Structure 1
C-alpha cells in the first residue's frame, strides 16, 4: 500500500493510462474500445448511463469526496486555516485562473468554442506533487507548501465551476432531499466508534449512495455529491476514510478516468483546421498558468504578510510553481467533457489540447524543478527529507 500512497505513483499511473488510451483509440482496436465506453448500462429509464459516464459521474465522485476531505482539513487546520496563511497562494491562484481564461478567450473567444474557458484553470495536484517527488530533492518546504495551497485553491475553483456552470434544469425537490441525506450523513458520522461502528458505517454508505443518486437525478453534476459528503463528514473519521480510499483512488479511480477521457481519435486534419478551443487550451495551460501565477505571485510578495508567516519565494520559484500549475490533466479533462458534451468532435480536440498542454507543462516543470532543486542544494539549503516541515507523501494527502 505504501507504493499506492507515494507521491510518484499517481503521476506515473495517470500518464501510463492516458498514453495507453490514446494509443488504443488510434489502433485497429480503437472502434471496439470506444464501443465499450459508449455502451449503456444501468436501470433503463431511471439510472442508465454509458460506461464512460459511469466512470465520469460515478467513480469520480469518490475522487471528489477525497478532495473535499482534504479541503476541509486545510481550511480548518492546515495551510489555509487563516487569511494570513492563505493570502499569497490565494493571490497567485487568482492569477493562475484569470490569465489562462484570458489567454483562452483571446484565442477562442467569439467562436462556438468559447464555452471552454474554464478548462485551462485547473491544476492536477497528483501530477504536480509527483514531479516534485521525482525531481525536487532539496527544495525548501516553503515551495511545496505554497504549491499544495495553490493546487487546493484551484480545486475549489474547479468544483465551483462544475457546480455553477454545468447544472441544467435543477429539480429542487430532489436536490432538497439530497441536502437532507447529507445532513443525516454528517450527524451519523459523529457516532462512528464503539460497538455500533460497523452498522453506522453501513448506513453511511447507503446514505452516500442515496445522495449521489438524488444529486444526479436533480440535474446537478453527480460529482458534487462527493464534495458535499466530504465537507459534511466529521473530520477525524473523514480523514480515516480518506486514508483508506486513497490507494483505491490512485490505483483505480483516477487511472480509469484518465483512460476513459483520453480515448480520443486523433483527427486527420491540418493544424489550421483544428478548433480554436484546442489552441486555446494548448497555450493557456503552459503559458497562461506560468504568466498568471508568476505575475500575481510577485504581486503577493509585495503586499503579503511581513512577519514570516508566508514562505519566502523568489521569481524563479514562482515561475517553477506556475509550470507545475499548468499540469491540468484530471479536472481539466472533466471540464472538457462537460463544456463540450454536445459536440464530440470539439470535445476530442480539446481533450488532445489538455493532454498536449499538460505534457508541455510537465516537461517544463521537470526541468525547472530540477534546476531550482540543484540551486538550493548548491547554496546549502537543507534537504527536503531533513526539513521538519517537509510534506511526506502521507502528509501531502495526494488526491
Structure 2
C-alpha cells in the first residue's frame, strides 16, 4: 500500500485529528475555560462592504465548511462520472444500502424522539463521516478486499448527496430570490471560468475564479439558503482538470484545519448534569439511531440489493461485510454535527444534547466498527494464508 508523504492526505491521521479536536472542544466546554473560549467563538466579525456579520463559530460552520463541501462535491462528481458510481451495475448495491442507511435511522429516531419538540431532528442520524469511516478502515482493515473500501466510499458519497439535499431543502429560511438568482449567475460565470482555465491555464483566470466563488458564497449566505450549498454548486460545475488540482491543493487544508476547527466548535457543549432518564429524547434518538439504525438499515437493504442485482453486475459484499460497513456508516460526526446545529438552531438546550447524541452515537459506532472490521480483516487474512 502506498503511504502518502503528507499525513494530512492519508486516512488515519485526519481521523485521529478530528477525534482529538472534538475531545478538546468537549473538554474545554466543561472546564473553567468555557467562558473565555465561548467569548472568542461568539465574537462577531463583519465582512467590509457587505451585510455579512457572523460570529467566529458561524464563519467556521458557514464559511470554512463551504470549502469542505467544495472538495466533497468535486469527489462526488468524479465518482458519478468516472468512478465507483458511474454505472447502474456499480451503484445498485451501495445505493439500495444507502437508502436503508437513511430510512431505518430516521424510523428509529422518530420512534424514540418523534415528539413535537424534538421531531425536527430526524435528519441528524442519516449521515456518514467518510474521513472517520475510512480512517477506521485503514487502521483495522489490513487484509480486507478492495471491494469493501469501494462499497464504503460509494455508500458515504451517496450519504453526502442525501445530506446536501437535506441541508438545501429542509433548512432554507425566508429565501431571498434576488441574491439566490445572482448566486446562480455567479456559479455559471465560475463554470465558464473553469473551462477557460482548463483551456488556457492563465493564473489570472484562477484568481477570477476565486473572486467569483467568494461572491457566490456571499450571495447564497444572503439568500437564506445555507452557505455550504455554494461550495457544493461550485464543486459540481468545475471543469475536471482544474477541479482535481484544486481538490489536491485543498485536501491537507480541509483535513488539517477546517474539519478539526469545525469539530472543535461543534463539540463545544456542556455535558448536562442530569440523570440519564432526564436527557432529551433527541439525545437518545440520535445515540441509538446512528449505531443501531445504520448497521440494521445498511446490512438489511444491502443484502436485499445483493439478491436483486442485475445479471452481470459488479461483485457485491457478503452479509458479514455488510455488517462491518453498516457499523462504519454509523460514524456520523461532521455532517451529523452540522445537521444537529441546523435542526435545533432555535433551542440551544436541545441542540447541545443532540450534539452529545452525535458524539456518543458516533463513538459507539466507531468502537463497534473497529471490532467488526478487525474480525473480517482477520478472516480474510486467514483465508489468504490458507490458499497461498
Deviations 1:312-343 (A, max 9, x none): 31111010000000000000000000000111
Gaps of 5+ in 2: none
Does 2:117 align with 1:108? Answer: no
Tell me by how many angstroms 1:274 deviates: 1.0
**C-alpha distance in structure 1 between counterparts of 2:385 and 2:255, whole Å:** 32
Tell me by how many angstroms 1:306 deviates: 3.1
Instruction: Classify the secondary structure of the residue corresponding to 1:192.
Output: helix
Instruction: Classify the secondary structure of the residue corresponding to 2:268.
Output: coil
Contact kept in structure 2, 1:167 and 1:219, CA below 8 Å = yes
1:156 aligned to which of 158, 161, 168: 161
**C-alpha distance in structure 1 between counterparts of 2:180 and 2:361, whole Å:** 36
Gaps of 5+ in 1: 384-399
Map 1:147-186 to 2 at 5 A: 147-186=152-191
Tell me by how many angstroms 1:10 deviates: 1.3
Corresponding residue of 2:59:
54
Corresponding residue of 1:129:
134
Tell me by how many angstroms 1:382 deviates: 11
Does 2:42 align with 1:21? Answer: no
Does 2:352 align with 1:348? Answer: yes
Does 2:213 align with 1:220? Answer: no
Compute the TM-score of the two structures, normalised by the length of structure 1. 0.94
Contact kept in structure 2, 1:135 and 1:366, CA below 8 Å = yes
Tell me the number of residue pairs that the alignment of Structure 1 and Structure 2 aligns: 382
Compute the TM-score of the two structures, normalised by the length of structure 2. 0.96
**C-alpha distance in structure 1 between counterparts of 2:98 and 2:325, whole Å:** 10
Deviations 1:157-210 (A, max 9, x none): 000000000001111111111111100110111111587621001100000000
Corresponding residue of 2:340:
336
Does 2:35 align with 1:31? Answer: yes
**C-alpha distance in structure 2 between counterparts of 1:310 and 1:268, whole Å:** 51
Corresponding residue of 1:203:
208
Does 2:250 align with 1:245? Answer: yes
> Alpha carbons of 1:114 and 1:141: their partners in 2 closer, same or farther (altered >3 Å)?
same
Instruction: Classify the secondary structure of the residue corresponding to 2:46.
Output: strand
2:367 aligned to which of 363, 369, 382: 363
Deviations 1:24-81 (A, max 9, x none): 1101111111121112111488111111111000000000000000000011111111
Corresponding residue of 2:98:
93
Deviations 1:59-116 (A, max 9, x none): 0000000000000001111111111211000000000000000000000012310100
